[in-house]
């Protein structure tokens, strides 16, 4: 696919979304790799103060402790945080949990759709699709695609949303792109038209069951099995941790 136009729409919103999603992945990685019972961001405790701050990660009751966290060093290089510290086994600390980070990520993910509103009519009339991407480093891009098609790059995308001329059911290719986003540690994909808005987002770690169920969903879309598609959307979940929501 040829991208006809590309615009940088980066802002504080995209940096915050990227930071939150990166922190989700880092905390989940620590919890899983070191079998920790408690992993939080214990400083700052206000989500609005995370961007550009010095972050302290508190981990407790682990079988081991990380000697360094290169992922957090990468966030310094991206300019998303100023510095970081790690506190190990110093007792339970109040702070920001992984679940709170997921809730905040959903709020910022909704802002991705705001940039598509002014392009819905053109997509409806001409079939030209537009896409917003948020990258791992906090940049956000608006891409103009081709008639009836705009493709998600396979690397470094943590969130994407694109327009459809009519309806908002994903194509099999959209689901393949979504799987790539989840493998990259991303949060989700959305579709918006004049008729409706669809969001498919993860609210927990991307599991093997999630991957299998998404692959099955992709085949259902390929076969255009509308009854089964409707059942999945009404259920609201695909696999363990993939939430699917449609609004009209």
Whole-angstrom distance, CA of residue 127 vs CA of residue 148: 5
Place of tokens 């995370």: 50
DSSP conformation class of 194:
S
Residue 10 burial by Cβ neighbours in a 10 Å radius (0-12, 13-18, 19+): middle
Report CA torsion sign: 139, 145, 151, 154. Answer: negative
More confident residue, 155 or 98: 98
CB atoms within 10 A of CB 144: 17
User: Residue 44, preceding bond cis, omega within 30 degrees?
Assistant: yes
Tens digit of each residue's pLDDT (9 = 90 or more) over 185-242: 999 999 999 999 999 999 999 999 999 999 999 999 999 999 999 999 999 999 999 9
Tens digit of each residue's pLDDT (9 = 90 or more) over 90-137: 665 678 999 999 999 999 999 889 899 999 999 999 999 999 999 999
């Amino acid at each position: 696919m040829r991208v006809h136009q590309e615009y940088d729409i980066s802002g504080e919103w995209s940096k915050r979304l990227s930071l939150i999603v990166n922190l989700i992945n880092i905390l989940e990685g620590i919890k899983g790799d070191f079998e920790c019972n408690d992993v939080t961001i214990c400083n700052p405790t206000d989500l609005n103060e995370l961007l550009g701050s010095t972050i302290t990660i508190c981990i407790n009751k682990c079988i081991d402790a990380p000697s360094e966290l290169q992922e957090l060093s990468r966030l310094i290089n991206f300019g998303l945080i100023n510095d970081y510290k790690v506190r190990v086994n110093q007792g339970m600390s109040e702070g920001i949990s992984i679940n709170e980070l997921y809730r905040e990520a959903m709020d910022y993910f909704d802002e991705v759709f705001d940039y598509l509103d002014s392009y819905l009519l053109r997509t409806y009339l001409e079939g030209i699709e537009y896409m917003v991407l948020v990258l791992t480093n906090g940049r956000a891009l608006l891409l103009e695609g081709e008639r009836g098609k705009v493709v998600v790059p396979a690397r470094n995308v943590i969130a994407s949303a694109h327009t459809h001329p009519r309806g908002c059911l994903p194509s099999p290719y959209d689901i393949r792109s979504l799987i790539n986003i989840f493998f990259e540690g991303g949060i989700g994909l959305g579709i918006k038209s004049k008729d409706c808005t669809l969001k498919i987002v993860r609210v927990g770690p991307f599991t093997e069951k999630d991957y299998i169920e998404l692959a099955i969903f992709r085949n259902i879309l390929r076969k255009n099995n509308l009854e089964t598609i409707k059942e999945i959307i009404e259920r609201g979940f695909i696999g363990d941790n993939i939430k699917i929501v449609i609004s009209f």
